[in-house]
Amino acid sequence: MIEDLARRGRGDPRAPARLGDPASLSNGQRWGDDDPEGGKSNPWSGNGRGGRRGRPGQPSLEELIRLGRGRFGGRLPGGGARPIWGYALAAFVLLWLLTTSFHQIDPQERGVITRFGRYQGTLGPGVGLTMPAPVDVVTRVNVDQIASFDVPGSGGQNLVLTGDQNIIDLAYSVRWSVRDPELYLFELAQPEDTIREVAESAMREEVSRVTLDEAIGPMRSQIESRVAARMQALLDRYRAGVTIEGVAIKQADPPEAVNDAFKEVSAAQQQAQSFLNNARAYSEQVEASASAAAAAFDKVYDAYRLAPEVTRKRMYYETMEAVLARNDKVIVDTPGSPTVLPLPGLKPRGRAVDGEPPTITVAPAPVTRGGGQ
């Protein structure tokens, strides 16, 4: 078979098909038809067969060259072929060198060069020159960009146990950036998954150190910073080459199932507050009226001290005036006279017993006592 191919390739007249003949090339079917073995005698497939037989590539390669020579040599004038090919090749090589040797690294990027897989150096921002592509490969790593992810990833609850065995629904985000591009590229198999897992582990550990109330309220910022520090320590231990820029707790709430009970607590707080407010209003009012009464008394008393007797009398008469002027009066001369008075217009009021009208006697006591002083 190899011999057969070789004969064909050399343009031997005994060959079943003349491969050099453009006519035979234009009709691919004829190769197969003419082959006495019935298999594919296509020179391209011959390449594969030759390789399988232990001498990789040799005969078919030769053939390939001849084929090409026959093909193009036959069509183009002998001298003109080379320069065009040369220029094309030169242009191709130049383009290849230009595109794979020059690297423009943006200010926020670093280009990690590997030469045949081995770390060769890191390109800073600007234009860097390396060996062409298959030799040197430049991997760009963005070191300024701050990446972030959320936990839980897509909605839903993220229940975390707190130190007092309660459960809290927590949502947070972690921001991180690449600090050391080489470590980032070479040290961890799945850097992003690792950061995620470390975040979750650190968060749960920190939350398990505080109580539910602390986690919901006052300790939030402390938890954030502690988680960030813990993550940084763990990732440094893994040599991840990553900086944790920050951890932000977006939500730390009681789980939905117990939310009503928590609302009850805040309602109770409001209620307690309103009790206190009412009591404060009462006390202010009471104290204000006491102060007012005291102040009024003080004023009157100041006046009274200037002229005790006269003031006392004046007040007595003024009061009597006001009282008597506004009420019905009956003056009974004889002390022993009956007090059951069928007086017209007298309406029994209040707790009158047995039809007896209330009898009020103006007590002269204060004045007599005061007068005696």
Partner 1 sequence: MTRLLRNPIGWAGLLIVVVLACASTLSIIPETSQALVVRMGKPDRVVNRYRPGQGFGGDGAGLLAHIPLVEQVVVIDKRVRDIDMERQPVLSTDQLRLEVDAFARYRITDPLRMYLAARGDERRVGEALKPILGSALRNELGRRPFAALLTPERDTAMRNIRDALNRIAAQYGAQIVDVRINRAELPDGTPLDSAFERMRSARRQQAMTIRAEGMKQAAILRGQADADASRIYADAFGKDPDFYDFYRSMQSYRAAFAPDGENIGGTTLVLSPNSAYFRNFINKGK
- Chain positions 252 to 281 lying near partner 1, rule: CB under 8 A, are 254-255, 257-258, 260-262, 264-265, 267-269, 271-276, 278-280
Q: Residues with Cβ < 8 Å from 124, sequence gap 6 or more?
A: 105, 110
The answer to whether 243 and 179 have CB atoms below 8 angstroms apart is yes
Q: Which helix (H) or strand (E) holds 104?
A: strand 102-105
- Tell me if 64 contacts partner 1 by CB under 8 A: yes
Write down the least CB distance from residue 265 to partner 1, Å. Answer: 5
Binding mask 14-33 for partner 1 (x = CB under 8 A): --------------------
For the chain, the first-to-last Cα distance in angstroms comes to 156
Near partner 1 by CB under 8 A, which window of 28-36, 62-70, 140-148, 170-178?
A: 62-70
Q: Give 209 or 250: the residue with its C-beta nearer to partner 1.
A: 209
Q: Give 32 or 124: the residue with its C-beta nearer to partner 1.
A: 124
Among 1, 94, 133, 290, binds partner 1 (CB under 8 A): 290
How many residues touch partner 1 (CB under 8 A)? Answer: 122
CA atoms of 205 and 254, how far apart (whole Å): 18
Q: Residues with Cβ < 8 Å from 201, sequence gap 6 or more?
A: 234
Closest CA to 247 of 219, 227, 217: 227
Write down the least CB distance from residue 36 to partner 1, Å. Answer: 29
Q: Which helix (H) or strand (E) holds 264?
A: helix 259-306
- Tell me if 121 contacts partner 1 by CB under 8 A: yes
Residues facing 176 on adjacent strands: 147, 244
Near partner 1 by CB under 8 A, which window of 20-28, 145-153, 171-179, 294-302?
A: 294-302
Q: Residues with Cβ < 8 Å from 145, sequence gap 6 or more?
A: 108, 177
Near partner 1 by CB under 8 A, which window of 25-33, 125-133, 149-157, 301-309?
A: 301-309
- Tell me if 319 contacts partner 1 by CB under 8 A: yes
Q: Give 96 or 297: the residue with its C-beta nearer to partner 1.
A: 297
Q: Give 29 or 363: the residue with its C-beta nearer to partner 1.
A: 363
Written as six digits, the tokens of 57 are: 């590539």
- Which 173-212 residues touch partner 1, going by CB under 8 A? 182, 185-190, 193-194, 197-198, 200-201, 204-205, 208-209, 212
Near partner 1 by CB under 8 A, which window of 8-16, 35-43, 83-91, 171-179?
A: 83-91
CA atoms of 234 and 194, how far apart (whole Å): 10
Q: Give 182 or 224: the residue with its C-beta nearer to partner 1.
A: 182
Closest CA to 194 of 160, 244, 229: 244
- Which 215-234 residues touch partner 1, going by CB under 8 A? 234
Write down the least CB distance from residue 105 to partner 1, Å. Answer: 18
CA atoms of 301 and 308, how far apart (whole Å): 9
Query: For the chain, what is the largest distance between any 2 Cα atoms, rounded to a whole number of angstroms?
Result: 175
- Tell me if 75 contacts partner 1 by CB under 8 A: no
CA atoms of 63 and 7, how far apart (whole Å): 10
- Which 326-365 residues touch partner 1, going by CB under 8 A? 326-333, 335, 339, 341, 343, 346, 349, 357-362, 364
- Tell me if 57 contacts partner 1 by CB under 8 A: yes
> Beta 118-123 vs 147-151: how paired, if at all?
unpaired
Among 22, 39, 218, 366, binds partner 1 (CB under 8 A): 366
CA atoms of 173 and 249, how far apart (whole Å): 7
